[in-house]
Amino acid sequence: MTDFAWLTVAEVSALLRSKKLSPVEYAKALIARAEKHDKHYNAYLRPTPDIALEDARRAENEILQGRYRGPWHGVPYGLKDIVDYADLPTTAHSKILQNNVATADAVVTQKLKAAGGVFMGKLSTHEFATGGPSFDLPWPPARNPWNRDHFCGGSSSGSGTATGAGFLPAAIGTDTGGSVRNPASMCGVVGMKGTYGLVSRRGVVPLAFSLDHVGTLTRTVRDNAMMLDLIAGYDAQDPASANHATGGYTAQLGRDLKGLRIGVLRHFYAKDMQADAEVAASIEASVQKLTELGAIISEVSTAPLQTYQACNRVILLSEAFAVHEKWMQERPQDYGQLARERLMGGAFVRAADYVNATRLRRKLTAEFHALFDHVDVIVTSSSMDPPCRIDDPQANEYTYSRQSRAPFNVTGSPGLSVPTGFTKNGLPLGIQLVGKPFSEALLYRVAYAYEQASPWVNMHPTLV
């Protein structure tokens, strides 16, 4: 009870409901932790301690009066700053939107508020969720909680850093080419990009309409499943929203893996791209652990990783430029260099290339999902490299595209990043679990079994 930073959502929820922990006391402890340490990590773009304490006092009064709203009542959370919170700026970490005040809550914000959540603040992102860690923006980039000299992943960078650093137990991020799973793998936390359309994107600044997902970052698998239970659901006002039954994501936690068929998508990280030796070794060790837990392991193959990446890149660049064309024409100087250069690439993609990419996407999606006729879950890499130094632009450019997350934005499949240990230098490593559409509960089952059989969930960084 003395170290509030590492309490899980599940633990906090039980303590709050039983009145053994005060929401106000808990919120104050996390606020104090961030005030002490975040000047070195830049997880928060805009902390909101006044709102947090108001939310916490309200939650405490309601709980004391017996008006318990559920497992998120009194639990702190943060939002990537492309997600609207009414009457606060949504800046997308950019000068372009520096004075853009949200007029309404995003749907995910509405759900967290209605559940009695305690809002801790807006979290850093890469500019408009693209580009990379930039030092020419109005606010500095977030840094890795395990070593502040290193990259924390992105574009949901602050969400990864804040959860990994113990500033809050759960955060909302977004994922268009891997932007939830990348910071999860680099900050030693759990990140889920659910099936395309599972979580409403209304009230979220778009990057690429047909690839954008809203996702969850937490320190444990159970917490992640609990958060997805809260935010998933159909939204008739989001044209991409899936009218599909949701919920029950914690239902399979604790079930064993005996007889479960797990396919290893090895050619992504062993042939198509050569993963760093420590990354590859951690994946193979994780597969061995799943075997020991009773899973039946086989190797699966699909189109080359580069084919998926090219498809994602053409679609993303085209759709992102469509969003930004007016600003790029009128205010190009107000973008940071990395985002400006990346977004400008979309101006040179031909209509024929975009159409052909969407046609290829359908073929790749059908072929990939056919693999689940023979396996239940697929395991592959997330990042190909450990976190590099944040002040090395060449290393950031090199490693940023060396990943196997983008394929599952193309296919719309659920993808879950889970910690798998550390490099010899103490930097986090992660593995990616992928399933057929709407199989999130099964992914959580596998991830939970692995997490409980491994020591990583109990390891935390020492902050400066």
Residue ranges of alpha helices (H) inside 345-423 are: 351-370, 393-400, 407-410
d(CA 129, CA 100): 16
Q: Which residues, 6+ apart, have CB-to-CB distance to 33 below 8 Å? A: 4, 5, 166, 167
State the residue for tokens 């005040």: 101
d(CA 117, CA 320): 32
Sign of CA dihedral 135, 141, 147, 152: negative
d(CA 272, CA 260): 27
293 three-state secondary structure? coil
- Checking DSSP bridges between strand 190-193 and strand 170-175, what pairing results, if any? unpaired
Helices 23-37, 49-64: inter-axial angle, 10-degree rounding:
160
Residue at 124: amino acid letter: S
d(CA 383, CA 341): 23
| Residues annotated as catalytic (active site), given as ranges | 80, 155, 179
Residues β-bridged to residue 46: 122
- Checking DSSP bridges between strand 76-80 and strand 170-175, what pairing results, if any? parallel
d(CA 418, CA 219): 9
Element (H, E) at 222: helix 221-231
As a dihedral over the C-alpha atoms of residue 43, residue 48, residue 53, residue 56, rounded to 10 degrees, the angle is -70
DSSP 50-83: HHHHHHHHHHHHHHHTT----TTTT-EEEEETTB
d(CA 38, CA 121): 12
Under 8 Å between Cβ of 43 and 167: yes
How many residues can be counted in the chain?
464
d(CA 21, CA 10): 13
Nearest to 93 by CA among 140, 152, 50: 140
